[in-house]
Structure 1
Amino acid sequence: MCIVAIAWQLFDELPLILLSNRDEFLQRPTEPLHQWTDKPIFAGRDEQSGGTWLGIHQEIQPYHHQNGRWVAVLNFRDGAQASDNERSRGELVTDFLTSHLSPMAFAHQINLLDYGGFNLIIGDTQQAVIVNNRGHAPTPLYAGLHVFSNGQPEDSWFKTERLRSRLRQEVLPLISENSAFEYWQDAAFAALSDTTKAPIDKLPKTGLDIAIEQALSSIYIEPIALSNIETTMPTYGTRTQSILTVSYDSKSINLSEKYHLQLNSREYQHTQHE
């Protein structure tokens, strides 16, 4: 259960500004943001499946070459049971970053039935496309602010509308004043760290118990016991917070991450790459 916000082609200097929270089981082994040695990818890595949830293309040699390709993937929460033969959604990220297809061409060639439910946002400096395997055909993003979570792209969940509002009021005006990352990053991470939960009457109906649904309704999910909300041992929460920006000419690509090592004490490691 993750969330992704994209300011697409709103600013001349930064055609892409992407903010993301990755929510995951705490025991799932994960590597923080780094340059992969086996693929031309700069990203965190899910050690269990080998893929990732958000990344950019970057080659190690000769000079950390970047081509402006980026991807984010979210799971789709609809109560459908996972199949044992489903491919990892993280492979969609690595497959696009290592391909030469345009975002739209790549989206059209995905074998949708191979994966569990997903929302996939793929792009470069020229085009951004969203597609899922729950009936949403590949669609280019229009210039504007887009916020996606684990439902249909057009769904208005409490957490998506709250993040949209905070970005419009607190973050985008700062970027308009000064697009330098250092000027607005604190406000952006503050918006991603909002723990306000939805009122009962604003919860989506996804088949989950109401108490668990409410615990998952905030932008930032504090550590919880996902299977039983009344237990004291947390099993799930926001693991990683990321901000990705791409300049118009692709010469400046910044991916900054807060990787939560010990969620109970809110300790984290902050890695930034330019």
Structure 2
Amino acid sequence: MCIVAIAWQLFDELPLVLLSNRDEFLQRPTERLHQWPDQPIYAGRDSQSGGTWLGIHQEQGADFHQQNGRWAAVLNFRDGVQAGSNERSRGELVTRFLTSNISPMAFARQLSLQDYAGFNLIVGDAAQAVIVNNRGHAPTPLYSGLHVLSNGQPEESWFKTERLRARLRQEVLPLIAENSSPGHWQQAAFNVLSDNTQAPADKLPNTGVAVEIEQILSSVYIEPVTFGSKDQKTPTYGTRTQSILTLHKDRKKDATVTAGITSRECHHDAKR
């Protein structure tokens, strides 16, 4: 997953609104959003390593779903350092949190950071959200507000993060404030997530990859592109999944909080 926006504690009925695009190689086998049969998780699934990039805790009962409000998302950290063969899957970070019972902060503090390739991890429940990475960013609670991050440090301002932030403030957050029902604002949110405008050359970050690749990766939504051999015509990489994760507080039921994910697969998703 390459970009995440989090509206945290901005709306009474929706204490969490999380938008995300997952950018990935198109041939990496992936299962769509579903209830996992072997773990209390509702998420898409990376069939290659068994983890996920975004999910919520959910148990399947005979006639109901049971939730505890836990949610998590992970992004890779782009600094030109290749992942080692002995490093654990970053998707495991999400599944470990969703199946644990400790607080978001306690979970972030007990991670063995050196076991993984570079990552940004956001873990939360209905009361607290925490961000941590293994590139020098200590576990930090999110304050109430709009947070947008990609594959650099959380406080870095990349073209794509600032463009997404601006469009959310102008086009989506006002709709949620007006009416928090999903049908009123989610299509606008998906439209914003589909922004394929690339950064001008002078606005590209320096992350250790080639400038031409940096250019391709500079948009909120990455159109299918061929990485590798110049003779290859079949796209190999792009935005594969777009998701909206929310926590909904029902004041009619003693402020009960329920989690939900709406996800859509991009048309060039090549392999399940």
Q: Residues of 1 paired with 2:51 and 2:259: CA distance?
A: 21
In the TM superposition, residue 207 of structure 1 has moved relative to its aligned partner by 1.8
Q: Residues of 2 paired with 1:20 and 1:230: CA distance?
A: 32
Partner of 2:106: 105
In the TM superposition, residue 229 of structure 1 has moved relative to its aligned partner by 6.7
Deviations 1:135-191 (A, max 9, x none): 000000000000010000001000000000000000000001000011001110000
Q: Residues of 1 paired with 2:183 and 2:101: CA distance?
A: 33
Q: Residues of 2 paired with 1:262 and 1:101: CA distance?
A: 38
Partner of 1:17: 17
Deviations 1:190-246 (A, max 9, x none): 000000000000001112221111111000000011235785321100000000110
In the TM superposition, residue 250 of structure 1 has moved relative to its aligned partner by 4.7
Supply the AA of the counterpart residue of 2:144.
Answer: A
Supply the AA of the counterpart residue of 1:51.
Answer: G
- Could you tell me whether the CA contact under 8 Å between 1:108 and 1:138 is conserved in 2? yes
Q: Residues of 1 paired with 2:208 and 2:139: CA distance?
A: 27
Q: 1:168 to 1:78 in 2, by over 3 A?
A: same
TM-score when normalising by structure 1: 0.93
CA RMSD of aligned residues (A): 1.4
- Confirm or deny that 1:166 pairs with 2:167: yes
- Could you tell me whether the CA contact under 8 Å between 1:244 and 1:254 is conserved in 2? yes
Supply the AA of the counterpart residue of 1:44.
Answer: G
User: Identity of paired residues, percent?
Assistant: 71
Deviations 1:1-49 (A, max 9, x none): 6000000000000000000000000000000000000000000000000
Partner of 1:47: 47
Partner of 2:125: 124
Partner of 1:65: 66
Partner of 1:135: 136
Partner of 2:218: 217
Q: Residues of 2 paired with 1:91 and 1:144: CA distance?
A: 27
- Aligned partner of residue 59 in structure 2, secondary structure: coil
Partner of 1:157: 158
Supply the AA of the counterpart residue of 2:65.
Answer: H
- Confirm or deny that 1:256 pairs with 2:257: no
Supply the AA of the counterpart residue of 1:252.
Answer: T
Supply the AA of the counterpart residue of 1:45.
Answer: R
TM-score when normalising by structure 2: 0.94
Q: 1:238 to 1:61 in 2, by over 3 A?
A: same
Partner of 1:148: 149
Supply the AA of the counterpart residue of 1:262.
Answer: H
- Confirm or deny that 1:38 pairs with 2:44: no
- Aligned partner of residue 113 in structure 1, secondary structure: helix
Q: Residues of 2 paired with 1:15 and 1:250: CA distance?
A: 12
In the TM superposition, residue 259 of structure 1 has moved relative to its aligned partner by 1.2
Q: Residues of 2 paired with 1:228 and 1:219: CA distance?
A: 25
Q: 1:250 to 1:233 in 2, by over 3 A?
A: farther
- Confirm or deny that 1:234 pairs with 2:235: yes
Q: Residues of 2 paired with 1:111 and 1:143: CA distance?
A: 28
Supply the AA of the counterpart residue of 1:202.
Answer: K
Moved more, 210-219 or 134-143: 210-219
Q: Residues of 1 paired with 2:209 and 2:256: CA distance?
A: 42
Structure 2 runs not aligned, ≥5 long: 250-254
Q: 1:138 to 1:53 in 2, by over 3 A?
A: same
